[in-house]
Amino acid sequence: MPELPEVEVSRLGITPHVLNQTVTKVNIHNASMRWPVPDDVYQLQGLKVTSVERRAKYLLLGCELGSVILHLGMSGNLRVVSADEPLKKHDHIEFILASGKALRLNDARRFGACLWQAPGECHTLLTKLGPEPLTDEFAAKRVYEQSRNKKVPIKQFIMDNAVVVGVGNIYANESLFKAGIHPKREAGKVSLKRYQQLVPIIKETLAAAITQGGTTLKDFAQSDGKPGYFAQQLLVYGRKGEPCVTCKEPLKEIRLGQRSTVYCSNCQK
């Protein structure tokens, strides 16, 4: 599933092609996504895209009448291609631009979304989201106070979108390893001092991934039109049984919230 850095890189990738462009036509080839695509999306037709923003893993294409909300689901991607390029299988939504290009949402599993948000309103999917991880609002003291009396494992706690958005499975694994915190430790038993270590690490880990992903932007509008998952040097995620980069002990794997969780039993307490 695309995580926040991948979605942010997608935003950076489409922005130069979409921002301030007039959408000459909206084509909904398959409205059966995770939620039915509403006819309201057609309101973007004939209007200029005035903003391209991200909230958590949602991308918002703004215009004077509202915003189209896009979500990539588990397998989706956005491509910027020539408008006369033949559709690929699973190209469900496309926005034809005055420039002669098209923004297409491709989603084989159809767990993605294309929705509408009216001006001055906040879609129900966005109302209960916590702070963005790279903002000052995501602060150690705030997270520490939220965690009091919480028995949920710290990994699941920092993946809760009500606590902070966008800390997906990969980056939760990596951040907890760097902070030396065992993923099963109860969130309410993590001290303020350790949250003061963990929160900056989460920020640094996500920021580094976004920066690394930015190196793929030059390929965004070429044949496949997407940055996808960029090369990353992962310390624990996907490395079950391999030696810890710090102590050389074999990394262990457990399931938390039905998600793969890899950690070092020696380095993480």
Bind-site residues for DNA? 90, 109, 150
Catalytic residue among 3, 6, 94, 174: 3
Residue 115's region, left for phi above 0, alpha for psi from -120 to 50, else beta, is beta
- 112 in Cβ contact with 71 (< 8 Å): yes
Catalytic residue list contains 3:
yes
Annotated binding site: 90, 109, 150
**What residues contact 51, with CB distance under 8 A and at least 6 apart?**
19, 60, 61, 62, 67
Catalytic residue list contains 131:
no
Query: How far apart, in whole angstroms, are the C-alpha atoms of residue 182 and residue 201?
Result: 15
Catalytic residue among 54, 55, 57, 104: 57
Q: Which of 167, 122, 111, 108 is nearest to 143 (CA)?
A: 167
**What residues contact 189, with CB distance under 8 A and at least 6 apart?**
none
Catalytic residue list contains 57:
yes
Catalytic residue list contains 269:
no
Return the active site residues.
2-3, 57, 259
